[in-house]
Structure 1
Amino acid sequence: MFLSDDLLSAIHSRANAVDQANVFPDEDLRDLKEAGYLKAFVPQEFGGAGLSVEEICNEQTRLAQAAPATALSINMHQIIVGLGRHLVANGVDSGRQILEGAVNGDVFAFGISEPGNDLVLFGSITEARPDGEGGYCFHGQKIFTSLSPVWTKLMTFGRDDSGEDGPHSVFALLNREGGGFTIADDWDTLGMRGTQSNSTKLEGAHAPKEQVLQRVTPGPSYEPVVFGIFAYFEAFLAATYLGIGNRAIEVASDKVKTRKSVLNQDVYANDPDIRWRLASAALRMNSATAEVTLIARDLDEGRDRGELWYPQLSAAKNAAAEASLYAVDQAIRSSGGSSYSNSNELSRLYRDVLAGLFQPSDQESLHGSWAKVVLGPVTEK
């Protein structure tokens, strides 16, 4: 394991205070930096620890068991590092700056989602205006930009309509010190409060030519920048949500071993209904973990899933998010009324796990993708 148990214990001890104060976990970030975790996914030849996709997934699950919001924040940085790896592996040299930046202390954030845009990664409503020298200025609104108080570089994209060959999506890195953006103080949410995923208004933020990662045709594709973002986003998000479900079962298991039934004069851990509830939660988590692990291994090995890559990546994320939601629900039902208290960890886990309902790919997108796999496209009458 890369992250020590002592480090995770310290992070866990701060999670409730971070949630209650609705602040970014600065101490967690400091400790994770000192542990080398922000460069753990960087290949050894670039100066990182060279962890595999499967190993990062395992660490993200463990980190989420300690503090879900911290894990979800750092998750976004690891996605961009994964993108850098994928670009370089596919001959796109612009990805080198991501790997070199992570080794040199950069914190990468993820600026993709936009209000009301259900195309998400496959088409932007932000304008990417050419600067005439190969770079771009970005104008638009990004939401759910985790790590907003601390990122040094923001990976974002916009739509370039200037070419004669049709619109293109432009993916680029923005420097924090370059300005041209405003970060709103609008992250007052039900859960995952420590991510501080404030909205970011791009007001001409400039990416010079060397920080443009790729310019590609909008839509789903296997262009390295598109597939790289999608693949690591879904895999690492899935692994992070697994940690919430695992932790909920741990908390409930400890509780029912001491919670006693007056009626039966025995602890609830011996009640067959409670045993069934927690066993069913563990079974769902076991299946989701297997699905995520297989996805991670196939990414590591570069296996070709063909046209099933996108729907199967989405399925793994949804399996993890839904299994964890179910596990938290069963844990709360098993633990009794005390879990309804705001001070109870299960209450926080319940609020945090709900964020998985909204992050791509959502249930509607997932079922649409699989309906196309099973039935083909919708036919005209």
Structure 2
Amino acid sequence: MSTELFITTDFQRRWVNELTEAGPFFSSFSEQSDTLSKFPKENIQKLVEMGYTTLTLPKEFGGEGISVTDMVLFQETIARFDSATALAIGWHQGVVGELYENRKWTAEQLAQFSEAVQQGALINRSVTEAQTGSPTRGGRPQTTATRSAGGWVISGEKTFTTMAPALTHFLVSVWIEEKQQIGFFLIPRESEGLSIKETWHTISMRGTESQTLVLDDVKATDDQLVEVNEAPRGNKLNGWLLHIPACYLGIAQAARDYAVHFAATYQPNSLDEPIASLFNIQTQIGKMDLELIKARHLLYDIASIYDDEARRVHLQNELGAAKSIVTNSAIEIVNLAMRIVGAKSLELSNPLQRHYRDVRAGLHNPPMDDMTITKLAHAAINEQK
């Protein structure tokens, strides 16, 4: 099982090969990053040097203008080697892709930021708060932007700021009392009053260092107010969020590969052949590949539909369904892999226990399963009306 079937261009082939060659470098930091809950800055710097972080910029802005399908393919490749690196850089890739697809910023703002990205800038949206939970559920930000003589003053805290140690820019959601709307400010890391609070103490995706962003009377200009939204972001079609299931699919592939190799090489003295010769082990392997085929075909098919503007208009809840199905399949694949390897999979030196913890994080990335299922039910009921 691999992504070979989904590579259709020379460009894709070149980048998959380059990322695969860099794979051992990425994975060399995985155990330490997980154990110490320390962000793998070396991996991100490597991707910046490779030019990877500029790929989702359109060509007229100095990038390659890659498609969502390209991004999914590349993100899955990275995740096979290091999950924290893939999820972290996926947010940057997805945010940049979305920004330049929608073009809601002014031409000047887009041009200036594209120059920053070409020079190594890294961005993520900072939207989650302890009081509101996931912003996709429609909660109003407690972070506020208040008018001042020179522009705006922003105060508040944002949890789950993935890649916090490496970000150069934060796209922060705020409640603008003056406008009675939610807005987004682009805030550089060096802004006075901006700090990072180390609150990331989880069992999953420890290396992402998704710390808390603290904004203490941070001053911003009118030009930094780059978006004003009238509706919750969770209601908008955004194919660039498919970097999330791509990451968990890559983790599942890594777990599957480890388990198959183990089954083909481990031979207890009670057997004349490795355990791969046993029917029950073959059944588990077959189930893993069945889940991989289902998840991968669905993910890449929906990505390709999104990339075709004529077909994209027919998408309704398929993006959320892809995330749900792929993530749950990934969890099951890792579960099956651990059943094959047995108690050895629980050893802290075994990568499967890390895959097991990391893949569970997918359930809590947007959109969550309950929202997807509810939307599917509402769509079905509305059809009858």
Using the size of structure 1 for normalisation, the TM-score is 0.89
The match for 2:240 among 225, 232, 241 is 232
How far residue 356 of structure 1 moved from its aligned partner, in angstroms, is 0.6
| 3-state SS of 2:265 partner | coil
Per the alignment, residue 125 of structure 1 pairs with: 141
> RMSD value over aligned CA atoms?
2.3
The answer to which of 102-111 and 115-124 deviates more is 115-124
Measured in 1, the distance between the counterparts of 2:64 and 2:313 equals 30
Per-residue CA deviations over 1:33-73 (Å, capped at 9, x if unaligned) read 11111112212221123322211111100100000011111
Percent identity over paired residues: 26
Amino acid at match of 2:102: L
**Alignment pair present for 1:375 and 2:381:** yes
The match for 2:280 among 273, 290, 304 is 273
**Alignment pair present for 1:16 and 2:31:** yes
Q: Which runs of 5+ in 2 are unaligned?
A: 1-13
The match for 1:143 among 159, 164, 168 is 159
Measured in 2, the distance between the counterparts of 1:363 and 1:134 equals 44
Measured in 2, the distance between the counterparts of 1:62 and 1:155 equals 27
Shift of the 284–17 alpha-carbon distance from structure 1 to 2, 3 Å rule, reads same
The match for 2:267 among 247, 260, 265 is 260
Shift of the 128–134 alpha-carbon distance from structure 1 to 2, 3 Å rule, reads farther
Per the alignment, residue 179 of structure 1 pairs with: 192
How far residue 202 of structure 1 moved from its aligned partner, in angstroms, is 2.2
Question: Quick check: 1:174–1:206 contact (8 Å CA) kept in 2?
Answer: no
The match for 2:297 among 267, 290, 303 is 290
Question: Quick check: 2:19–2:74 contact (8 Å CA) kept in 1?
Answer: no
Using the size of structure 2 for normalisation, the TM-score is 0.88
Shift of the 338–324 alpha-carbon distance from structure 1 to 2, 3 Å rule, reads same
Amino acid at match of 1:124: R
Question: Quick check: 2:288–2:336 contact (8 Å CA) kept in 1?
Answer: yes
Shift of the 220–142 alpha-carbon distance from structure 1 to 2, 3 Å rule, reads closer
Question: Quick check: 2:255–2:355 contact (8 Å CA) kept in 1?
Answer: yes
The answer to which of 138-147 and 346-355 deviates more is 138-147
Shift of the 303–281 alpha-carbon distance from structure 1 to 2, 3 Å rule, reads farther
Per-residue CA deviations over 1:128-165 (Å, capped at 9, x if unaligned) read 324357954332221110111111100121122323xx
Measured in 2, the distance between the counterparts of 1:316 and 1:154 equals 28
**Alignment pair present for 1:200 and 2:213:** yes
How far residue 287 of structure 1 moved from its aligned partner, in angstroms, is 1.4
The match for 1:325 among 331, 335, 341 is 331
Question: Quick check: 1:123–1:169 contact (8 Å CA) kept in 2?
Answer: no
Measured in 2, the distance between the counterparts of 1:25 and 1:220 equals 29
The answer to which of 344-353 and 286-295 deviates more is 286-295
Per the alignment, residue 245 of structure 1 pairs with: 252
Per the alignment, residue 102 of structure 1 pairs with: 117
Residues paired across the two proteins, number:
367
How far residue 231 of structure 1 moved from its aligned partner, in angstroms, is 3.2
Shift of the 98–365 alpha-carbon distance from structure 1 to 2, 3 Å rule, reads farther
Measured in 1, the distance between the counterparts of 2:217 and 2:326 equals 38
Measured in 2, the distance between the counterparts of 1:85 and 1:35 equals 21
| 3-state SS of 2:80 partner | helix
Measured in 2, the distance between the counterparts of 1:44 and 1:63 equals 23
Question: Quick check: 1:145–1:197 contact (8 Å CA) kept in 2?
Answer: yes
Per-residue CA deviations over 1:248-273 (Å, capped at 9, x if unaligned) read 10000100001124444321111111
**Alignment pair present for 1:155 and 2:171:** yes
Amino acid at match of 1:292: L
Shift of the 95–288 alpha-carbon distance from structure 1 to 2, 3 Å rule, reads farther
Measured in 2, the distance between the counterparts of 1:135 and 1:268 equals 68
The answer to which of 359-368 and 136-145 deviates more is 136-145
How far residue 98 of structure 1 moved from its aligned partner, in angstroms, is 3.7
